[in-house]
Structure 1
Amino acid sequence: MRFDELPKDWAQRPLTDPEVFEGVVDLIATDRSRSEGATYLLLCHPNGRLLQPICLPDEPRRVDVGEVLDGVRMLLKEVSRHDVREVVIVIARPGRLTPTPRDRDLRAAFEGACNASGVSLRAVAIAAPTGVAVLPSEGDSAAA
């Protein structure tokens, strides 16, 4: 789904609602972040609705997972102090939508950082120039 196909009530729905998830990610992940690389943390209200998107720029061809994770950990630690308990993470990057080993490594690292900070990781998505896709956890074939 593209952002311009989102239903009018998308902001009232949980971010992980399959009928709006990809469209909301498409709305938030800019063309620039998809061409240069970025990690988005989409902070959620307790009911799962989008509270605030936060963008952490990165260069997927040069920045290792540890560097990305350092920024995510610091941010999760801070937002958890303000009672944010749910987050969706978006990996914006160039290339195809097909998950890469780096995408899988990032997802595993995000899961660890969320667990350590008491924040629930609701979903992970890839935003590439050609579209948006859910990045399931290992052994999970279900969508958001």
Structure 2
Amino acid sequence: MRFDELPRDWAQRPITDPEVFEGVVDLIVTEQSRSEGATYLLLCHPNLHLLQPICLAEEPRRVDAGEVLEGVRLLLGEVSRHDVHDVVMVIARPGRVTPTPRDRDLRTAFEGACRATGVTLHAVAIAAMDDVAVLPPEGACAAA
């Protein structure tokens, strides 16, 4: 789904609602982030409505998941002190939305950072130049 196809009531729905999730990610993630690479943390209210997107820009594409983990862990630790305990993460990058080993490593790093800070990771998405897709957890089967 593209952002311009979002229903009028998208902001009143949980960000993880399958009918709006990819469109909301498409709305938030910039073209520059997709071409250069970035990590987004979408902070959510307890009802999973979008609270605040945060872009961790200028992430070199070659940065390993461990380095991303440390930055995300610090940020999540800070937001959790302000009673934000629900997030969605987005990997913005060039190429296609087909998951790569690095995407899977980043998802694992996100999950570790969330566990370490008491934050719940509700979903992970990949935002590429022309598409957005959910990154399923390891071992999950993609819908055919």
- TM-score tier by shorter-chain length is over 0.9
| Secondary structure class of the residue paired with 1:89 | strand
Q: Percent of aligned positions with the same letter in both sequences?
A: 79
**Structure 2 gaps, min length 5:** none
Specify the alignment match of 1:118 in structure 2: 118
Q: Deviations over 1:20-52 (max 9, x none)?
A: 000000001100000000000000000010000
Specify the alignment match of 2:52 in structure 1: 52
Assess, with a 3 A threshold, how the Cα gap between structure 1 residues 116 and 69 changes in structure 2: closer, same or farther.
Answer: same
Alpha-carbon deviation of 1:133? 0.3
Runs of 4 or more, structure 1, over 3 Å off, are none
Specify the alignment match of 2:36 in structure 1: 36
User: Could you tell me the TM-score, scaled by structure 1's length?
Assistant: 0.95
Between the aligned partners of 1:141 and 1:48, the Cα distance in structure 2 is 24
Between the aligned partners of 1:87 and 1:141, the Cα distance in structure 2 is 22
Alpha-carbon deviation of 1:141? 2.7
Alignment size in residue pairs: 142
Report if the CA contact (8 A) 2:36-2:94 is conserved. yes
Q: Deviations over 1:41-79 (max 9, x none)?
A: 00000001000000001121x212122112111110000
| Secondary structure class of the residue paired with 2:70 | helix
User: Could you tell me the TM-score, scaled by structure 2's length?
Assistant: 0.95
Alignment of 1:2-17 (within 5 A): 2-17=2-17
Amino acid at match of 1:59: P
Amino acid at match of 1:124: V
Specify the alignment match of 1:26 in structure 2: 26
User: Over the residues paired in the alignment, what is the CA RMSD in angstroms?
Assistant: 1.1
Alpha-carbon deviation of 1:142? 6.0
| Secondary structure class of the residue paired with 2:23 | helix
| Secondary structure class of the residue paired with 2:137 | coil
Amino acid at match of 2:137: S
